[in-house]
Amino acid sequence: MKNQACIELRDLEVTTQIGTYDANDTVPDKHILDLTLQISSKSVLIAEDRMALVFDYDPLVAEISRLAHECRYETQEWLITRIVKACAVYVEVESLQISLRKFPIHNGSGSLGVRVSVNADTLAGMR
C-alpha cells in the first residue's frame, strides 16, 4: 500500500456573499468550507522539524479568504471552482475534496452544500 497524507481544513467560516434572495427568502448567515488536500507523505513524514520540509497551507488559506471577499457570487459552485483553481497552483496537491455549505436554509434550520472531488488529471489540466 502506498503511503498517503492529507491536509484537512474543517469548518472554516468563510465570509462571503452568495446568491440572490427575494424578500421572503431565508438568507443564510454562514458559509462553511471543508477542504482536504492529498499530498505526498514526504511532506508529513519528515526527518526534522523544519517548515521548509512541509506544505505551507497559510498562503492558501489567505487566498481562499481573499477570493471569498473579492465579489458577490451567484453560486456556491463558482466560488468552489475558484478555490480549486487556487489549490491547483500548488504542485504538491495531488488531489482534493472540497465542500461548501450554507445555513440556515429554511425556518432557521438546515444546511445546503456542494461537494466535489478533484483528481490529479483535472488539477493538471488547471495548471
Instruction: Give the pLDDT score at 1.
Output: 74
Distance in angstroms (rounded) separating the CA atoms of residues 27 and 29: 6
Distance CA 4, CA 7 (A): 11
The structure's pTM equals 0.93
* All cell numbers assigned to 9: 481544513
pLDDT tens sequence across 56-105: 999 999 999 999 999 999 999 999 999 999 999 999 999 999 999 999 99
Domains with residue ranges and CATH for the chain: 5-126 (3.30.1130.10)
Q: What is the dihedral of CA 107, 65, 95, 88, to 10 degrees?
A: 140
